[in-house]
Every structure is written in structure tokens, then in C-alpha cells.
Chains A and B, each alone.
Chain A
């Protein structure tokens, strides 16, 4: 009532000095607290940012090699008798031509000195088995090439490719000093210098001996002490052997002039290069060395004035590419026939056991087909359910329970949906294993709650006044919703759908359950063909021992991330552009 007189508040009677020291100190503390809080926030953001940056940088660094491949450009002699002996140019005959022989003949011609069978097999292993297929493809596209000579890029194997990507061994070259006299006996080479051209290398080797001695000593120290009464023959023998070895190593290390054998299991390899020749050093003295001719010189040599020593830092037995492999590749590189090119193959071929041939096409198509199924199932079902629940369903216990369970469903671990899919779609309905159809259905289960929740949120964000306006001019409930509410909710629904799809694209676990984890070379043509998806492909590759697959793994991750970024970007764009605020 108006006549109630209001008593002044208790504090109103006291004066409060906002300028007092105490008050000022309180203000200062408040500012400090605020500053601290801002600092913590900033640190948290920086920390998260740095984390993301490091992660991305690492994946990019590891993944970039996957997008490039190395090839050797050679002139191939497209001998008609090998490709098309009948000469009728029938596609079937062309398909069965001996392209491998054409490629290998040209390849071996680069190194005529390689005659021994085991060595030849190593040499041939440097060319990818896909090279012949490439050539077959080229001939099938243009049969008129038959009988001609063709400059053709021949794909190298993964090990060769890794070498050029710097993943086999570190290499360093120093110029040799002084002229060398060369005696060649078959592939055996003796190099004799006028001064002591190999002294530094020898010193290195001797230093290695000392390290070996130390290691042997340490091993000796680790052996259990000999027991008082009982004697252990084996142990004593071992001890004696180690002691002798240490003594021997120390003696050899001390003898600066003594020649040493290179231990390829423990030491870097040293290669003398001159006149196109690659000589692997095997026994080194200060003034002379014995070696093995990995690659023959362009002309017979008896004396070398200019030569270099190349060191392959990783000991030969610790890497996949042998000294000979590297010598062959480097020799070709020096001849200028190695080319680095963008690996379109990575996007155009399916999975393969050969790392250099493996691509993500199969996984990409598999993902696309899977997501297509998911979308076709999810969008109408999700939006329909959302419209019904939001606009038509009576509000009662049943719909309450439904609503709670839809929210619960969104929180169910995805592997459970995989098990459900296995039990239902595969075992009960008997749908094909590993098929994008089943994968799509399982992911639909996973994404459906997300879409329903997002769609309901979008629908309820449309102000009721719009619906009332439509009802007011005589639209039916359904017309009001389908003409006005739903179109206005569409950007929100699309945003939710895209985010749901991005979620599905990155999902792995449930697909493992329904067998999309198989090794599948063929690219799926239909939703019932066996296939795999991008994240599962990544999972598969990450498990493989070949180093080249590590790059493929990171490369596939990059592609997946790119798609996720694009999808999420599209969602944000949609939201920015079309979602209106009332």
C-alpha cells in the first residue's frame, strides 16, 4: 500500500568512505583477481592452441611424403612380340602382354655389371610391381605405341621411394684427398693412395672399436660374480671370451696403422664415388683400401684424381635399403632420370599390400557410400521424428520417456551400436558383411539421436508467433509447420545433420564390429560390395610394419581431417548465413 513509510536501510545511516585505504585495497585485489583470471584463460587457450599446432604439424610432416612418389624415367622398348604376339591388337591379348619383361629389361640395362642372381633380384625389387600395370594401362589407352620406343616413368618400390624421401639413411659426402691408384679385379677393387687418404676413416673405425670394447666391458661387469664353492663352466667361458675380446679390441684400436674390416652390422658404410662408380669400402688401411664395385664406372679406371667418400650413417643391416640399393638409386639420380611427382595414385587406387601402390580411393568411396546410406536413412527419419515430437506428439508420459531415451541414445558408446548392428543387420537380417549398406545403417543408429536433438532444437527456436501467424490466416497445423516452421528450422537442421555426418565420417569402432575392417583391394561399386571407410583404413595402415605405410597413414589422416574441416566449416557457414535470431 502507498501509505507504508519505508524505513531507511540500516547502512544508510552510516557513512561509508569509498576512498579509504581498505576500500582501495579491496578494489586493487579485485583488479588483481580479474587479471589473474584473464591470464589463466589466456594460458589455457595458448596451451590448447600449441597442442593442436604440434599435433597438426606432426601429422603434416609425416603425411606429406604420402602425396609424392618417385619414378625412374626410362626409354622402354615396346616390343610387339612381347605385347601382342598375334598382332591383332585385341584388348584381351594386349592385357596379357609381358609388360614386366619390358620394364625389367630396360631397368637391368642400367646396371650391366649386375649378373649374379641374388643381386639381380635385389635390383629388380627396386621397381614397383605396379610399374608393369602402369605400362599396360598406357598401352591399352593407346595401342598405337606398340613397336615404338617410349619414355615412360617407372614407379619405384616403397624402399626406393623412402630412400629419396630421406627415410633410409643419412648421407654425407666429403672430398677424398690425393689421387688413388685403382686395381680392378672383377668387382673387387683395391684403392692405393699416395699419402694416407683413408686415415680419418680408419681413425673413425678405431674409435668404433673402442666403443665396442667399452660395451664388452660393461657386459662383463653385468655377469654375476663367480660363486665361491660351485663353479659355472658356461659363465666362466663367457667371461674369458669377453675378456679376450676386450683385449683384442683395445689392441687393434691402439695400433693406428693396422687395417680394419668394416663391420656392416655396427658401422656406417663408406662408399667411394668417382667417375660414376660406387665402391663400397670393406677393408681399410691408412693408405689403401679394398672395396666392392657396386656400380661400375662409365669407363675403365686405373687412377682417380677426384673422388668423394659418402658415408651412409645408418649401418647397413639396420636399414631395408642395402648399400647396393642406395648406390643404384644414387647412380640413377646422378644420371638425372629420377623424378618426383605428385602421387595421384594415392587418390585413385584402392588398398594394396605394396605400400607404393596403396591408395585411399576404396576407403573414400566406401566412406561416401556409407555416409550416403546414413544420410538417406537419418535425415527423413530424424527430421520426421523431430517434427512429430516437437509439434504433433501429445505431451504425456510416453513421449517423455521417448524423449529421455533419445537423449540417452546419443550418449551410448558407439561400439554398442556396432554390436547391435552385428546382431541385427548381419545375423538376423542376413545383410552382407563389410558392406557400406550395413555400415551406413549402423552409423544411422549412431547419428539419429544427434539429428533428432538438433532438429528439435532448431524447430523450437522458431518463434511460435510465426506458427500463429500462419494459423491466423487459416493454415492447418500441418501447413503452418511445413510451410513456415520447418523451412525456418532448416539451416539449424542442416547444421546438425552435417555435424552428425562429420561424426559418422570419423567413426571407427562400430564398423570394426560389422567387418568393414577387412583388407579390400577392389573399390566398392555399390552399397552391398565389401568395402572399408577412411578411418578404418587409417587404423589398418597404422598397424602395418612397413615404414612407407606410416606416411600413408598420416596422409590418409590429413585427407580425413580435410573432409572434417570442410564439413564443420560448412556447418558454421550455414549457421552464420542462414540462422536467424528473433
Chain B
């Protein structure tokens, strides 16, 4: 069965490698203690486009994603080798400040995780941390702007001081996206951002992702091939810790080169 191909409604509009890669990974290996979780992954992620990572559960998608903002540093047993560059600068350079890196590379998690604070405070936290606003008006501007770009402002404008955790799941996830874009990142990493949401909330997030790609480089991990097909321009398929195939979304879903990719997108395993 080929459920993937009809889902590709709009062909990837962003031209491919003619734009220089925003993020480039070369021979990345990740070990969790003895476990070799990611094997020799090399991939280019273009700027201002959505790149989707797909693959069966446990194949290392999240692991790779977390390499890009060095979130794996927080796991003591995790060891990363190889090179990852953003704008041709090595992000594992010991002179690079990991905190600043994470400001440039925002992240949205699988389960919506707003701070148990007000909606305003959720968004304002990052900008305040980095001293992005000189006064309250500027901060208000950033917060409102971020909420607007996350398509959440209209729904919450009357209750900015309410708890962020009191929102619905989809709204919470959009709040997390607003929180991420408030610090003006260049890259946004999303790890299965819709897996905890209902279809309507999912549709809204997907719509939002599509809007955001005009300004941000987006990497999204998803276990839903339809979602990958709907939102992404490029797709990378992971299997057992290796990057099997990477290409334009259209090509991956209509004309996969690798047998394993074909098996996966036609639902033969996964």
C-alpha cells in the first residue's frame, strides 16, 4: 500500500542543495555507555526549510536531534564523536558556550512542558535570561510577538497571567514553541511535537510549522510518515542507528532508493 505518495500535496518548494547547509553533520557517532546508538551519521540540513527525521522507534532520531543542541551533554553516560557544524562553525568546539548554542538552537519536546508559571512568564523567561529586552515594553513586545508567531496570541491575550499549565495540550505545545522562538533561535528542533496531541491540535501545529519555516530552520522528528510528508521539504530515514537515506521529501516518499526505506514507508515494518 502506498499511503505516502497521495499525502504529498505540495511538492517540496524549497530548492535543494543550492542553499548552503545550515547544519552539517559528518560521521557522527553516539554511544550511551557501551551502547552504540548512532552510527556514522552524515547529513546536511538546509536553512529555512523543514527537515523530517523518520524511522522506527529506538533508531536514534531523538539522539541525533539532541546532538544538534548538545542536549546529550546532560546525560553523563552519553559520548558523541564526529563533527556537527552550524553555519560552518563546530558546535562541539570546547571554546563554544553550550548555553549560547542552546539559545541559537531552540527545542520543542515530545510532551508539552510549559513551566508551571504564567503564560507571560513562560515566554519571557528566555529573553530575560539573555538580556534581550532593555525594559518592560520591549519584553512585552517580544512576548506578544512570539505568541503571535506561534498562533497562540488570539487565544490567550486576555489571560497572559494565567498558568501556562492550565492550557489545553495543543495550546501548551504552541506555548512551548512561542517560548522557543522568543529567544530568536536560528534552528528549532522538534522531537515528535504532536505525539501527545489530538488531530485538530496536530493540524494547527503543522500549519504553524509551515509558517515558521520562512524564518527558521526546522528539524522535526516524527513517527508519523503522513506528518513528515505534510510538513517537511526534506526527509531523512533512520534505521538501527544509521542514516539509511536522505533526500527531498517527495523523492523519499515516491521513489525511495533503499529497500529498507521503501519497506518502512509502505508500512512493512516499524
**A residues neighboring B (CB under 8 Å):** 394-395, 463, 465-477, 479, 483-484, 488, 580
In B68-113, the 8 Å CB interface with A consists of: 69, 71, 74, 76, 99-104, 106-109, 111, 113
**B residues neighboring A (CB under 8 Å):** 69, 71, 74, 76, 99-104, 106-109, 111, 113-116, 125-126, 129-130, 176, 179-180, 182-183
Complex Cα distance A59/B113, Å? 52
Complex Cα distance A430/B238, Å? 69
**In the complex, what residues of A have CB within 8 A of residue B179's CB?**
469, 473
- Measured between C-beta atoms, what is the minimum distance from A388 to chain B in Å? 15
Cβ-defined partner of B116 (8 Å) among A475, A479, A580: A580
Count: A-B pairs, CB below 8 Å: 65
Contact between chains at B106 and A472 (CB < 8 Å): yes
**In the complex, what residues of A have CB within 8 A of residue B104's CB?**
474
Of listed A469, A470, A484, residue having the most chain B CB within 10 A: A469
Contact between chains at B103 and A474 (CB < 8 Å): yes
Contact between chains at A469 and B102 (CB < 8 Å): no
Contact between chains at B125 and A488 (CB < 8 Å): no
Complex Cα distance A479/B103, Å? 14
Cβ-defined partner of A474 (8 Å) among B108, B111, B115, B183: B183
Contact between chains at B76 and A475 (CB < 8 Å): no
- Measured between C-beta atoms, what is the minimum distance from A407 to chain B in Å? 22
Complex Cα distance A580/B117, Å? 13
Contacts A465-B113, A466-B113; A472 near B107 (Cβ below 8 A): yes
Contact between chains at B74 and A474 (CB < 8 Å): no
**In the complex, what residues of B have CB within 8 A of residue A470's CB?**
115, 125
Contacts A395-B76, A465-B109, A465-B111; A473 near B125 (Cβ below 8 A): yes
- Measured between C-beta atoms, what is the minimum distance from B216 to chain A in Å? 14
Contact between chains at B109 and A473 (CB < 8 Å): no
Contacts A473-B102, A473-B106, A476-B99; A468 near B113 (Cβ below 8 A): yes
Complex Cα distance A53/B180, Å? 58
Complex Cα distance A395/B102, Å? 25
Contact between chains at A474 and B113 (CB < 8 Å): no
Contact between chains at A474 and B116 (CB < 8 Å): no
- Measured between C-beta atoms, what is the minimum distance from A396 to chain B in Å? 10
**In the complex, what residues of B have CB within 8 A of residue A467's CB?**
74
Complex Cα distance A471/B105, Å? 11
Complex Cα distance A484/B165, Å? 14
Cβ-defined partner of A394 (8 Å) among B76, B130, B183: B76
Cβ-defined partner of A473 (8 Å) among B74, B76, B126: B126
Q: Which 6 A-B pairs have CB atoms at the shortest separation, nearest pair first?
A: A474-B103, A473-B126, A465-B113, A472-B107, A474-B102, A469-B113
Contact between chains at A474 and B129 (CB < 8 Å): yes
**Residue of B whose beta carbon sits closest to that of A475:** B129
- Measured between C-beta atoms, what is the minimum distance from B38 to chain A in Å? 19
- Measured between C-beta atoms, what is the minimum distance from A313 to chain B in Å? 68
**In the complex, what residues of A have CB within 8 A of residue B100's CB?**
474
- Measured between C-beta atoms, what is the minimum distance from B87 to chain A in Å? 17
10 contacts between A and B (CB under 8 A): A468-B109, A469-B176, A469-B179, A471-B102, A472-B180, A473-B126, A473-B182, A474-B99, A479-B129, A484-B115
Contact between chains at A474 and B180 (CB < 8 Å): no
**Residue of A whose beta carbon sits closest to that of B76:** A395
Complex Cα distance A463/B115, Å? 11
Complex Cα distance A318/B187, Å? 93
Complex Cα distance A477/B116, Å? 18
Complex Cα distance A475/B129, Å? 7
- Measured between C-beta atoms, what is the minimum distance from B103 to chain A in Å? 3
Complex Cα distance A479/B130, Å? 12
**Residue of A whose beta carbon sits closest to that of B122:** A469
Complex Cα distance A467/B71, Å? 11
- Measured between C-beta atoms, what is the minimum distance from B111 to chain A in Å? 6
**Residue of A whose beta carbon sits closest to that of B108:** A472
Complex Cα distance A342/B126, Å? 60
Complex Cα distance A580/B125, Å? 21
**In the complex, what residues of B have CB within 8 A of residue A473's CB?**
102-103, 106, 125-126, 129, 179-180, 182-183
Complex Cα distance A473/B106, Å? 6
**In the complex, what residues of A have CB within 8 A of residue B130's CB?**
474
- Measured between C-beta atoms, what is the minimum distance from B180 to chain A in Å? 7
Contacts A483-B125, A484-B115; A472 near B71 (Cβ below 8 A): yes
**In the complex, what residues of A have CB within 8 A of residue B101's CB?**
474
**Residue of B whose beta carbon sits closest to that of A394:** B76
**In the complex, what residues of B have CB within 8 A of residue A580's CB?**
116
Q: Other CB < 8 Å A-B pairs besides A474-B183, A580-B116, 20 of them? A: A394-B76, A395-B76, A466-B115, A466-B116, A468-B71, A468-B109, A471-B74, A471-B102, A473-B129, A473-B179, A473-B182, A474-B100, A474-B101, A474-B104, A474-B129, A475-B125, A475-B126, A477-B74, A479-B129, A488-B116
Complex Cα distance A119/B166, Å? 81
Contacts A474-B129, A475-B129; A469 near B116 (Cβ below 8 A): no
